[in-house]
Each structure stands twice: as structure tokens, then as C-alpha cells.
Chain A
Amino acid sequence: MELEKELEFFKSQYKELISHYENQFVLIAGDKLLGSFTTDSEAYEAGLEQLGNQPFLIKRVVKGEDIDRAPALVLGLLNASI
């Protein structure tokens, strides 16, 4: 899966990142931290300028794991018959 390497780097550097960049958005490509930003849109524009239209990781540095939920979608209930 694309960006797995970047996510692994984020996890490996998490303690360092949370101590310096809590609540900021970090821009990561490969195993390099390219910058930290106040908003995700700033990080995206910086990523485009530095790397072009390529996959790169933008992740907010927060305490705890982010889990999104979309139960109807994943359970296949969007068009369930009742």
C-alpha cells in the first residue's frame, strides 16, 4: 500500500515528533521529514511544490490513534433491503 513506508517512519519517530510538533501537520516523503505546518492545506501546497503531484504523507501529530468509522459502508448496508 502506498505511503506505508512514510507511516512507518512517522510511527518510529513519534516520540520525537510529539515533543516538537504536537497538533501540527507534518509532511513526510520516504523516511524524511520535510516540514511542519499549521494546517493540512499548507502542508499539501508545500508537498506539491517540493515533490510535485506524487504521493506524500501529511499527518497531524496528536496523542492517541485516529480511527475513522463508516459502519454502513464497510458492512455493505448502503443499499440493504428491509
Chain B
Amino acid sequence: MPVYEGEFRTQAGQPVPGGLLRNGPVLPVEIAVPSALSRFLSARNQQIPGPVAGFALIDTGATRSCVDNQVISSLNVNPIGITTLGTARGRSQHHLYPAKFSFPAMRFEIEFGSVVGVDLSGQGVGKMQIIALIGRDVLSRCILIYHGIKGSFSLAL
């Protein structure tokens, strides 16, 4: 079972006070076209867009994982559904997309039948943008330990 140990440290290796508090549990992710679309494009000698790198934020409030609209559009992945997001402010409709999330630090991939397309622009950690949310659809198969006092978390997929 691959495990990611998340902790905010300086380049000198010192813990960053409040890093987890400010940024939340994030881990490096690459968003790629779904494998079925890769095979489809490859069979037709069409170019396959390269993956987009950024951070994924673990969001225990989200029922389903999400991807940034601009990122998934840049991969030429078309929507395969519409879902309604319900919140205290009411409901809003969003497209659903198939997608592949890769976690290079864990050498692990997840092929999603669908994730929710949302606007994550302006959400970042340092210079890296948050491009995905890991929702409870993934967490239902994981062990997540959030050590707020130490400022670290562990995710076992």
C-alpha cells in the first residue's frame, strides 16, 4: 500500500510552522487524459496532450473528487455528464469528466470514471496551483492520518 507522508519543510529541511494549517493536506499530482482516450488518440495517430502537474488538496467535505476546469479543458477531455453540487448557498451545476490522476511521489495512479469540473483558479501552494481535490470517493479506500499538532499528515492509498 503506497504511503505519502506530508509535511511542510523549508529548503534547509526545517519544519515550517503552521504550514499544514495554512495550506491543508496537499500532495503533488499530475492530471492526464483517461487511458481510454489515450488509446483512442494513439490508434488514430493523433497527439496525446501531456499531463498537467500541480497539487491536489485532500477535501474531506467533498463527496467526489474534482479537477480544475482549465486543466481538464487544456487536455481536450470532453464532458460526459452534469452533476449538481449542493451547499448551504444552494445548488449549482458542473460538468463531469473522465480523468486520470497520477501521484508521482507514491508511484500510484487512479483512473476516474468521472470527476467534477470546478474553478480552482487562484488556489495554490507557493508557485504551484491546486488543480484537484481528493474527495471521499478516493478517501473511502484510504487511510488518512492528520496530525495537526505535529503539522503533518499521512495518506495510504
> Taking beta carbons and an 8 Å cutoff, which residues of A are in contact with B?
1-4, 7, 39-41, 44-45, 47-49, 53-59, 65-75, 78-79, 82
Classify chain B's interface size.
35 or more
B76 near A70 (CB under 8 angstroms)?
no
Roughly how many angstroms separate A47 CA and B30 CA in the complex, as a whole number?
25
| Separation of A82 and B22 alpha carbons in the complex (Å) | 9
Given contact pairs A48-B36, A53-B37, A79-B123, A70 touches B82 in the complex (Cβ within 8 A): no
**Bound form: Cα–Cα A65–B82 in Å:** 12
Given known contacts A40-B113, A44-B34, A75-B87, A70 and B62 CB-to-CB distance under 8 angstroms: yes
Tell me the bound Cα distance from A6 to B149 in angstroms: 49
Number of A-B contacts (CB under 8 A): 115
Is B40 a contact of A75 with CB atoms below 8 Å? no
A49 to B44, CA, bound (A): 11
State A40–B81 Cα separation when bound (angstroms). 11
Q: State A72–B95 Cα separation when bound (angstroms).
A: 18
